[in-house]
Structure 1
Amino acid sequence: MTRVEARSTPAPVSQGRIALRTIGRSTARTARALGERATGAGSRVAAFAAPVTSVISPIGWLVLAAALGSAILALVLDWVEFAFLAATLVGAVLIAIPFVFGRMKYRVGVELQPRRVVAGERALGRLSVVNDGGSSSLPSRMELPVGDGLAVFPLPSIEPSAEHEELFAVPTERRAVIVAGPAISVRGDELGLLRRTVRWSEPVELFVHPRTARLKPSAAGLVRDLEGEVTRTITDHDISFHALRAYEPGDPLRNVHWRSSARTGQLMVRQYEETRRSELVLLQATAAEEYVDEDEFELGVSVFASLGVQVVRDGTTATAVTEEHRLRTATTMALLDDTCRIEPAKSTPVLREFARDVLRRTPGASVVLAVVGSQLPLAEIRAVETVLPAEAQLLAFRVDRGADARIARVGSTQVATIGDLGELPAVVRRVKP
């Protein structure tokens, strides 16, 4: 008997679904392609119109939008008043157009004198504008950003090759890096509807250094002699003599002590105590919640900078870091420049983890100086002891504005409280290594 297998035929509904999916995919691809073309065309149109649209200020765009809205209301509601308003607004923009025409050819210089000051000292700036064109320039104005402010200088008509000079004062009450520039010439109407700008100079930095206290050499017990600090490690090559021992094959003959060898009848060689120069790590905790206010934070930066400057002057190998910055210690000027960039941090690791990360990169540290705020618990300072290298010493400087200067011991760490920057030299002299 022959067996016949029946095959099922796809239902018309399934074929319809397939057709719908195909149509949907085709439509999506077409829409995507049209969208990409429209975007590309819009970008080209925007780039072509940029020389015109970039001249319109935000106020100008608001005026044009108000004119368009008034025109629509005049047509829809048939109100003549809105038509007059639209015409007035458009007329204001049209009247402003001639004010942006004209070519300027300036040579602009921005100078700051001096380039580095201590917070509170006076700093002056000079803006010079020379007309390099072949004819007299039209009146305009020059805008110069200075820090968070903006200095505006009206420029008169300047004869060819003539120079116009403007002097200005730079606010230096607080530590900062103040950027002056770039100088931008502005042409436009008095209402500010249209504004054409040209950049003429590069930004110039003014470093406002923190106030520092002058410390005596070898601050915080740092050794500054030729040999360095003597350690307990015994070596065959160094300066500090330790003892004699019997000669072993491979010992260099220059270490043989011939007098002792002649007296004992066998070769004797010198042993030395290994010496090293101090390697110091200077940390500052910058978490905003660890300081009472901004003034206390500035006191912490001043203490940090004072210690760092003296360490660099002593010639001690040093690493100076905050949670966000690694400061240069090649020269005192480089260090002070970098302290200008220290800012309170909103979220930072705990002091112990911060110290662990730094000391992992400087395993040879012999002295660690930590500058912290008054709101940091003493237990967190003591926790740093657990991550110190062997034989390393921790000294903490806790800033507390208005508090009496004192030195206390927390575990094996000396904690010096600083209430005023002028107290720092006396406190440092009292610290015992």
Structure 2
Amino acid sequence: MTRVAEKVPRRISPAAHAVGSVRRSLGGGMRTVGRLAGQLAWRGWQVSKPVTDVVGPVGWLTLAASVVAFLISAVTGWSEFTYLATTLLAALLVAVGFIFGRATYAVQVALNPHRVVAGERALGQLTVANSGDKGLLPVRIELPVGSGVAEFMIPGLAPAAEHEELFAVPTHRRAVIVAGPAVSVRGDQLGLLRRTVRWTDPVELFVHPVTTRLRSSAAGLVRDLEGEITRKITNNDISFHALRAYVPGDALRNVHWRTSARTGQLMVRQFEETRRSQLTIVHSAETTTYASDEEFELGVSVMASLALQVIRDGTRVSVVTEGRLLTTKTPVSLLDDSCRIQPVSGRYPTLRDFTRDATRTLPAPSVVMMVAGSLLELARFRAAQTLFGQDTKTLAFRIERGSPPRLANVSGLTVLTVGELADLPSLLRRVNG
């Protein structure tokens, strides 16, 4: 017989057990102390934050220099460093007096107008009023506008008095320019301490892309296709195709009662689907397809011009770009969304991948327009064209700034080369003709 060795339980001495208990108690105590220390540090930081926030970079540098000077004085005994440290600290103490004071401002930032076309003039107005019962000292107001900051020196205001400042907003490029928030700044002239108070919310200015009016627009292509019969069979349409046997779930309104009575079996109508107007514009914002920033902006203008005319003509349209499906309910909403289009790099490997991903959930289009830069090969356009059926008309707008307008047909793909925005109406007339 094979004897199975029994496992003998290990006996722990009382001393070892006591040592383990002490270690566990110490470990738990250290963790508790660590949590308490973290909580105390966090609360201390929150309490001191209002004080530390008013210290500017120059103030922190001055404080650090005074500490270093005191240390050098203590080590070497040089009184000169003591004087230096005392002077720096005195400067900080004097600066404290400049940040005190309660302000009762009522500040408004207004832009006129809120929407402009790139290159048009846009003005802003800053109004500061004293809403309190006491006079206010002069103050500096800082107003971020786009990537810059405008500074205004507001004089002392008596009760109920107000002061206005006008400023120009740069609108030479398509963008969404944010003005605000307006903040008042109190502090010393050296910039040691700086106390800011926010008075307004940001205000957006939409700088729309330049567009051109298209008399004979892309919507003409859609209207020409409207009502055409396709090869797709459907249960609901107007073009009768044939009869078939009834299947549970079919609508009773499609039952052909005369044939059903003659054959003794329920028969329902089938139809050939007629084409419905649906236009899709695919705008590529990939930087590698454009030769310059100006060419990219021209592409946005071409896309916006096409979409605007289609919306005005009452045709359903979807506009997609990398990372964004533009709102096409109204011309204004389309232009506002087009202001937010930014160049992207490496978002999709190819135009085909982008088009497939962007149009996957959209209605099947009758016309597709693709807009991209001059550095994109025609083969890339053709590869994206294969995503759509044979009944879909596809146009490729190749943006090549300064190039003469050209129209070509490559294997069923209509390629329009646009060198200037003014060339777009004539090119579309040639396509529609």
TM-score, normalising length: structure 2? 0.86
1:413 equivalent in structure 2: 413
Q: Distance in 2 between matches of 1:230 and 1:7?
A: 86
Which 10-residue stretch deviates more, 52-61 or 280-289? 52-61
Which runs of 5 or more residues in structure 2 are unaligned?
259-267
1:334 equivalent in structure 2: 333
Please state whether the residue corresponding to 1:346 is helix, strand or coil.
Answer: coil
Q: Distance in 1 between matches of 2:34 and 2:78?
A: 39
Is the CA contact 2:408–2:416 (under 8 Å) kept in the aligned structure 1?
A: yes
Is the CA contact 1:220–1:431 (under 8 Å) kept in the aligned structure 2?
A: no
1:294 equivalent in structure 2: 293
1:36 equivalent in structure 2: 35
Verify: 1:308 aligned to 2:323, yes or no.
no
2:69 equivalent in structure 1: 70
1:103 equivalent in structure 2: 102
The correspondence of residues 15-414 of structure 1 with structure 2, limited to 5 A, is 26-219=25-218, 221-224=220-223, 228-232=227-231, 274-349=273-348, 350-414=350-414
Please state whether the residue corresponding to 2:54 is helix, strand or coil.
Answer: coil
Question: Displacement, 1:35?
Answer: 2.0
Code of the residue aligned with 1:143 in structure 2: it is E
Code of the residue aligned with 2:329 in structure 1: it is A
Which 10-residue stretch deviates more, 374-383 or 161-170? 374-383
TM-score, normalising length: structure 1? 0.86
Is the CA contact 2:234–2:271 (under 8 Å) kept in the aligned structure 1?
A: yes
Which runs of 5 or more residues in structure 1 are unaligned?
258-268
Q: Distance in 2 between matches of 1:185 and 1:229?
A: 65
Q: 1:144 to 1:217 in 2, by over 3 A?
A: same
Q: Distance in 1 between matches of 2:225 and 2:423?
A: 31
Q: Distance in 1 between matches of 2:118 and 2:99?
A: 41
Q: Distance in 2 between matches of 1:105 and 1:234?
A: 72
Question: Displacement, 1:384?
Answer: 0.9
Question: Displacement, 1:188?
Answer: 0.7
What is the RMSD computed on CA atoms of the aligned residues? 3.4
2:430 equivalent in structure 1: 430
1:262 equivalent in structure 2: none
Q: 1:188 to 1:7 in 2, by over 3 A?
A: closer
Q: Distance in 1 between matches of 2:402 and 2:415?
A: 17
Q: 1:255 to 1:108 in 2, by over 3 A?
A: farther
Q: Distance in 1 between matches of 2:39 and 2:207?
A: 48
Q: Distance in 2 between matches of 1:74 and 1:193?
A: 23
Q: Distance in 1 between matches of 2:205 and 2:393?
A: 37
Q: 1:200 to 1:393 in 2, by over 3 A?
A: same
Question: Displacement, 1:8?
Answer: 7.7
Q: 1:180 to 1:17 in 2, by over 3 A?
A: farther
Q: List per-residue Cα deviations over 1:94-127 (Å, max 9, x = no partner).
A: 1111111110011111000011001111000000
Question: Displacement, 1:215?
Answer: 0.8
